Amino acid sequence: MVYVPAEDAILNEVEARLGNITTANGYNNDFPTIKRARLKPFKGYDLPAANYYFATVDTTKDNYGDDEHTMFLIVEAHTKTRDEPFLDLAISLCADVVIGLFRATTAPEVTDQVSIALGGTVNKIKYIGHSPFIGEGQDPFCGTLIRFEVVFKTEIGDMINYT
């Protein structure tokens, strides 16, 4: 039997939820391009796009001796600049990502109930903040770097999620 490491299970759910961010589901933006830990910059034809990865996973022991992990999750949301100020676009992208990650894949609409456990893969997800950015050149773009804290548990010495 092949197991899925806890981090992979979490990132798989993040990707599924990002994929549900569509105007048809009530969001302001669509992300036709979604990549995991992409290093190469997006080109104009890739946009709008989302890139997601984690920076660190810290581990402590909970009161029962299990490992409690805190993942620092990052989602980059990119789009082409338009006639509106880039900060307004960055705010819109951030709102869509935050709302989208807090909606179940089975109930992804903006008006659906909040789901903080990422489909049961984590104990909780917490929005930390975002940092807008802009790029110039032939294909000007803007976006925002959105940060989350994700808490999940595993048994000691195990990296299979039991949350």
Q: Judge whether 148 and 18 are in contact, CB under 8 Å.
A: no
Q: What is the DSSP letter of 58?
A: E
Domain boundaries, the chain: 6-37+46-154
Q: Judge whether 106 and 126 are in contact, CB under 8 Å.
A: no
In CATH, what number does 6-37+46-154 get?
Answer: 3.30.2000.10
Between residues 66 and 27, which one has the greater pLDDT? 27
Q: How confident is the model at residue 63 (pLDDT cuts 50, 70, 90)?
A: confident
Per-residue pLDDT, averaged over 73-87, amounts to 91
pTM of the model: 0.93
Give the chain's length: 163
Beta bridge partners of 154: 67
The model's pLDDT over 116-132, given as tens digits with 9 standing for 90+, comes to 999 888 999 999 999 99
Q: Judge whether 53 and 39 are in contact, CB under 8 Å.
A: no
Per-residue pLDDT, averaged over 87-101, amounts to 97
Q: How confident is the model at residue 84 (pLDDT cuts 50, 70, 90)?
A: confident
The model's pLDDT over 5-20, given as tens digits with 9 standing for 90+, comes to 999 999 999 999 999 9
**Predicted pLDDT of residue 70:** 96
Pairing mode of beta strands 33-36, 49-61: parallel
Q: Judge whether 133 and 142 are in contact, CB under 8 Å.
A: yes
Q: What is the rounded distance in angstroms from the CA atom of residue 53 to the CA atom of residue 38?
A: 8
- Of the chain, the percentage scoring pLDDT greater than 90 comes to 72
Q: How confident is the model at residue 1 (pLDDT cuts 50, 70, 90)?
A: low
User: What's the chain's average pLDDT?
Assistant: 92
Per-residue pLDDT, averaged over 35-59, amounts to 94
